[in-house]
Homo-oligomer: A and B are copies of this chain.
């Protein structure tokens, strides 16, 4: 059976699979290796499912899950920039590379789906809608939870202080999910200067 539409969908799904070859700064829980962006996407989608009750009123958890499933796909072309290496100097280059990547990769899909997925990714990146703000907060909340069990992980790699973590991680987590920040902050304070 020939189906150009299904061919395009499968070309996207086969390309997307490469996301698991992109390594992140945070080690997995047992500390044995770095987390990859594919399994990270699964883990935070599961965060969304389980922590739904901590989202602000009006957030659609199913939309948040959809957003989290695709939020990192641009890294196949653009790579992952560890949060502790992000700076105002390089931000516009990173954003341009990620937009290029989004257009190429989502562009493998049939036109209607390509437009839908690009819009969903741009909504996540803009971090303005309630769904995107909550999704971003989960994306920032998961790595410290890993570092608390893996022995310090990326905090050690980048000599992170509590103040720096508060600025880069605490702020977005508080914005979308203050309950989650209040829960984890004392645990981080106990191990970071």
Contacts A14-B29, A14-B145, A183-B1; A66 near B49 (Cβ below 8 A): yes
- What is the chain B residue whose CB lies nearest that of A148? B14
- What is the chain B residue whose CB lies nearest that of A109? B50
**Nearest CB in chain B: distance from A124 CB, A:** 14
CA of A14 to CA of B183 in the docked complex: distance in angstroms? 15
CA of A39 to CA of B109 in the docked complex: distance in angstroms? 21
Query: Oligomeric state, in number of copies?
Result: 2
Q: Which of B10, B38, B50 contacts A43 (CB 8 A)?
A: B38
Whether the Cβ atoms of B39 and A20 lie closer than 8 Å is yes
Whether the Cβ atoms of A149 and B14 lie closer than 8 Å is yes
A131-188 contacts to B, CB under 8 A, are: 145-146, 149, 179-180, 182-183, 186
Q: Which of B16, B42, B51 contacts A38 (CB 8 A)?
A: B42
- What is the chain B residue whose CB lies nearest that of A38? B39
Interface size on A, residues (CB 8 A): 46
Whether the Cβ atoms of A18 and B29 lie closer than 8 Å is yes
Whether the Cβ atoms of A42 and B29 lie closer than 8 Å is no
**Nearest CB in chain B: distance from A134 CB, A:** 15
A12 sits at the interface (CB 8 A): yes
Contacts of A30 in B (CB 8 A): 18, 21
Whether the Cβ atoms of A182 and B1 lie closer than 8 Å is yes
- What is the chain B residue whose CB lies nearest that of A181? B1
Binding site for B on A (CB under 8 A): 1, 3, 6, 9-10, 12-14, 16-18, 20-21, 28-30, 32, 35-36, 38-39, 41-43, 45-47, 49-51, 54, 62, 65-66, 69-70, 109, 113, 145-146, 149, 179-180, 182-183, 186
Name 10 extra pairs, CB < 8 A, besides A6-B180, A42-B69, A50-B109.
Answer: A1-B183, A1-B186, A3-B179, A13-B46, A13-B145, A18-B30, A38-B42, A39-B39, A45-B45, A46-B70
